[in-house]
Structure 1
Amino acid sequence: MDKESFPRWAWLLAGLVAAAMVSQAINLAALRPLGLPEAFEVVTTITLMSPVLIYVGLWYDDHRQEYWDHSRARIVGDVLFVLAGALLGSATVLAMIVDTGWSRLILDVLAMFAGFVAGWALFWWRNTELYGGESETR
């Protein structure tokens, strides 16, 4: 894939749409039949979108290309950390606030924020060298 053929936002949009479609397929095929409440279906979407948000940036930024020199096992471990963080962060926050009576939009946005922050925090924790010099360049 040539990153210059589309702008960053197009790759990001394509990845997020693909993640949303896969998450809905998982929800419909596996999780709904198991009895997952509808309010928690957003957790699947957040979990699958989190790696897209992180890895499109890593792939596109020239100053972060050294990340791809890591072993395949390390990269897979990082993806699993991101997925676990997003899943746990969004599900935990959603479980705490789902019965508050707030609108579905507010619940989803708060769960997204928590999931994305938790996933990115775990990725950052494992890869601090990628983000170490940013404060010095600004």
Structure 2
Amino acid sequence: MDKERLPRWGWLLVGLFAMMIVANVLNVAVLERIGVPEQYHVITLITSMAPVLIYIGVWYDEERQPYWEQSQEHIAGDLVFVVVGAAIGSAIALVAVIDIGLPRFIQDITAMAAGFMLSWGLFWWRNPNLYRIEAST
């Protein structure tokens, strides 16, 4: 994949759109059939999109390229932390607000924010040197 073909936001949109399709296919093909309420389908969406939000920046930014020199096991472990963090964070937030009576849009945004923040926090916790440059400026 050529980084120069699209700007960073273009790669982000392409990745998020692809993951949206994957998550919705999973929701329709699996979760609806086993009886998971539609309100909880947003967890799948958040879980699939979190790695895109985190890894596009790591892939695109030149100063973050040393990340890819780590072992495959470390990178796979980071991906597991990101996915599990997004699932747990969004699920906890959604369960906390689902019965309050907020509009569905607000529930989804709350779950997305919590899921992404936990997944990014876990990624940062495992790779604090990756963001040390930004912290010093």
Q: Same fold (TM over 0.5)?
A: yes
Look up the match of 1:65.
65
Give 3-state SS (helix, strand or coil) of 2:3's partner.
Answer: coil
Hey, what does 2:3 align to over in structure 1? 3
Tell me how far 1:39 sits from its aligned partner: 0.5
Structure 2 residue 14 is the aligned partner of structure 1 residue 24 = no
The reply on whether 1:108 has 2:108 as its aligned counterpart is: yes
Q: Which amino acid aligns with 1:32?
A: E
Moved more, 127-136 or 4-13: 127-136
1:87-134 deviation digits (Å, cap 9, x = unpaired) = 000001101110111100000000000000000000000000101121
- For residue 73 of structure 1, report the CA deviation from its aligned partner: 1.2
Say what the alpha-carbon RMSD is for the aligned residues: 0.6
Q: Please give the secondary structure, in 2, of the residue aligned with 1:9.
A: helix
Q: Name the aligned partner's letter for residue 102 of structure 2.
A: W
Find out whether 1:12 has 2:19 as its counterpart: no
Structure 2 spans left out of the alignment, 5+ residues: none
| Structure 1 residue 135: Cα displacement | 2.2
Deviates more, 1:63-72 or 1:128-137: 128-137
User: In structure 2, how many angstroms separate the alpha carbons of the residues matched to 1:128 and 1:49?
Assistant: 22
**Structure 1 residue runs of 4+, over 6 Å off?**
none
| TM superposition score normalised by structure 1 | 0.97
Q: Distance in 1 between the 2:18 and 2:133 partners?
A: 32
SS of the residue aligned with 1:86?
helix
Give the TM-score normalised by the residue count of structure 2: 0.98
- Which ranges of structure 1 fall in alignment gaps of 5 or more residues? none
How far did 1:24 drift? 0.3
Which residue identity does 1:31 align to in structure 2?
A: L
CA distance in 1, matches of 2:107, 2:33: 23
- Distance in structure 1 (CA, Å) of the matches to 2:7 and 2:132: 26
AA matched with 2:56:
V
Paired position in structure 2 for 1:123: 123
Instruction: Among all aligned residue pairs of Structure 1 and Structure 2, give the percentage whose two residues are the same amino acid.
Output: 52
Return the letter of the residue paired with 2:58. Answer: L
For residue 122 of structure 1, what is the amino acid of its counterpart? L
| AA at the equivalent of 1:21 | I
Letter in 2 for 1:5: R
Inter-partner Cα distance in structure 1 for 2:103 and 2:23: 22
Q: Aligned residues, how many?
A: 137
